[in-house]
Amino acid sequence: MLFDAHNHLQDERLDPWREEIAAAVPSSGIGEMIVNGSCEEDWPQVAELAQKHTWVRPAFGLHPWYVKERGSPWLEKLREHLVAHPRAVVGETGLDRWIENPDVEAQVACFRAQVALAVELDRPITIHCLRAFGLLEEVLRSRKLPRRGFLLHSYGGPAEMVPGFVRLGGYFSVSPYFAHPRKAAQLATFAKIPLERLLAETDAPDMWPPLELNPHPLPSADVNHPLNLSVSYDLIAAQHGISREEAEKVVAGNYQRLFDDLGA
């Protein structure tokens, strides 16, 4: 059984193929996917997908790209969605200095609020981070963190920071995009992450694999299919020198430790 720790099935770029994708999931070997909301506007879409499909676990969060557009009651709306979905994850949230003219102060404030909410509701949290790993570690070290831990999705930070994030409760997910030759150095970082801290993701519709390794190409070449999750498992197996079957077993255990007793 495969588990996608992070995607955006609600994204409008998947509109032409969403029904086809949903029909294929039950026979694909994917047991569950975590569908992440990024802003107030798409949280209801994520909730609708979770109500419609048993294999969707919702996640609700305010992504750093959208902090400038947040409404004044955003945090209360977020709380309402999380309370209404006891199995939901907090996310996607985080910090990003890569975007143009980032409001880092607002990002940090929103991130801290979501970490506190995750602690209060006893939920894990999914974190996005670009060009802000030092700041991220600083913020995490200064806060009470969810006892379940947190996921650094599509981890792009330095290998040297991995042990510190692990001590704080971090897990790290691999996306198909790391199969591109230009990402070889970053992919090598995953060989240094303990197996018991690795998860697989697609980040669909983003993070598509190279064409020659793409088992489910879509007419739009820069749109990633959620069934490309198998590529991430292959990358984990190759980086750690284990069989694909062993990778599936390890990732399933990691996924269950981080997420599976939610709402029990």
What string of DSSP letters covers 43-91?
HHHHHHHHHH-TTEEEEE---GGGGGG--TTHHHHHHHHHHH-TTPEEE
221 — pLDDT class (breaks 50, 70, 90): confident
Among positive and negative, which fits the CA dihedral 195, 245, 188, 224? negative
Q: Is residue 122 part of a domain?
A: yes
Chain centroid to CA 76: how far? Answer: 22
Q: Is residue 156 part of a domain?
A: yes
Reported pTM: 0.97
* CATH for 230: 3.20.20.140
53: left (phi over 0), alpha (psi -120 to 50) or beta: beta
Q: Is residue 28 part of a domain?
A: yes
Chain centroid to CA 42: how far? Answer: 16
Q: Is residue 223 part of a domain?
A: yes
264 — pLDDT class (breaks 50, 70, 90): very low
Predicted confidence (pLDDT) per residue in 131-150, tens digit: 999 999 999 999 999 999 99
What gap in Å lies between CA 223 and CA 53, rounded to an integer?
22
Q: Is residue 42 part of a domain?
A: yes
Q: Is residue 264 part of a domain?
A: no
Q: Residue 232 above 90 pLDDT?
A: yes
> Per the structure block, which two tokens stand in for 47?
């909730």
Number of domains in the chain: 1
Predicted confidence (pLDDT) per residue in 3-61, tens digit: 999 999 999 999 999 999 999 999 999 999 999 999 999 999 999 999 999 999 999 99
261 — pLDDT class (breaks 50, 70, 90): low
Beta bridge partners of 190: none
Range of the domain at 141: 2-259
Going across the sheet that includes 170-174, the strands are 2-7, 30-36, 56-60, 89-96, 125-130, 150-152, 170-174, 198-200
